[in-house]
Amino acid sequence: MQSLQELLKTHEQDIQAFAPADATELESYRIKYLGAKGIVKQVFGEMKNVPVEQKKDAGQLLNAFKQLAEAKYEAFAHLQSSNKKADKAVDMTLPGTPLPTGTRHPLRMVENQIISIFEKIGFSVATGPEIEDDWHNFTSLNMPEHHPARDMQDTFYVSQNPDWVLRTHTSSVQARIMEQGHLPVRVICPGRVYRNETISARAHCFFHQCEGLYIDKNVSFADLKQTLYYFVTEMFGPDTKVRFRPSYFPFTEPSAEMDISCTVCGGSGCSLCKHTGWVEILGCGMVHPNMLRNFGIDPEVYSGFAFGMGVERITQIKYQVNDLRLYSQNDIRFLKQFQSI
């Protein structure tokens, strides 16, 4: 009887201290104490060694022990059942939670469209730095020191070095390409440009341009017109009309601006074309002989044309985006409208 009491006591201490962390620990406990070969069964087996006159007391002790072992198990039984419920809750046949997929930015899509149109006629892509020096952004482009475009009002200067600017146009890449001296040249130069403008629906301190440059022997203004006409019909459709207006850029001579017939009203007049039927899309011209000379290219032998267009402007006309700020606000409701393009 005494040895039985001692045996039960050590087990009781263990049982009291037992606190399962999960269903697996609880199940090991069940097997250890309450299983077919468990401790409860074993200690009941000791009854046969207890003298008859003590059997009643021993029976009470053993029953109390059994109840203790079972009560502990019951106390944590919710671990088992909640786990089983969780198992049932996972229905592997249900469809998964879809992850929203991103889209390309509309400006990047239009830039890619511009590039692929020009790639078809043999232009390759060139890029240059966004922090540019005075020579590539201004001087080499026939824009001498007094030129108004250099005004602090328009240009961001880099404070560490007065010679550095955030490029104000992608024409700086033209300069870098000519500098390399590989002729003929037929490149398209997409990129971001910066101007010190107050941000509004119609102006931004940064935007995107796509420059084109073609230099070879016998390149004429007719080649320029035909190239741009091809671009317009690919980008805006075969019914789009073009017109050229004389203009001025220091790095082209003659220079022109090109308009297309309004894609929204077809020419009858609307708010996009300010009721003129035409929208301006780019500047262009024949590369100025001074610029060719700046890079050691003989203007008597070579000639070329250049053009530069705003990617935001093309996107605005093609998809009727009427506020420039939308492009940089990262509003998913705006961006996802371009998903299917």
123 contributes a contact to ligand PHE by CB under 6 A: no
Give the x-and-dash track for 151-180 against ligand PHE (CB under 6 A): ------------------x-x---------
Alpha-carbon gap, residue 296 to 292, rounded angstroms: 6
Give the binding range for ligand PHE (CB under 6 A) out of 58-66, 132-140, 279-287, 323-331: 279-287
Residue with tokens 């419920």: 85
Give the binding range for ligand PHE (CB under 6 A) out of 51-59, 184-192, 229-237, 277-285: 277-285
211 contributes a contact to ligand PHE by CB under 6 A: yes
Alpha-carbon gap, residue 90 to 244, rounded angstroms: 67
Using Cβ positions, the residue closest to ligand PHE within the complex turns out to be 308
DSSP type of residue 46: G
Whose CA is closest to 166, among 188, 139, 196, 142? 196
Closest distance to ligand PHE from the beta carbon of 247 (Å): 8
How many binding residues for ligand PHE (CB under 6 A)? 11
DSSP type of residue 157: B
Omega before 254 within 30 of 0, i.e. cis: yes
Residue 118 or 307 with smaller CB distance to ligand PHE: 307
Alpha-carbon gap, residue 124 to 108, rounded angstroms: 17
306 contributes a contact to ligand PHE by CB under 6 A: yes
Closest distance to ligand PHE from the beta carbon of 323 (Å): 21
Residue with tokens 């011209």: 285
Residue 209 or 240 with smaller CB distance to ligand PHE: 209
CA 201, 202, 206, 212 torsion-angle sign: positive
Alpha-carbon gap, residue 142 to 331, rounded angstroms: 41
136 contributes a contact to ligand PHE by CB under 6 A: no
Binding residues vs ligand PHE (CB under 6 A): 169, 171, 211, 249, 252, 283-285, 306-308
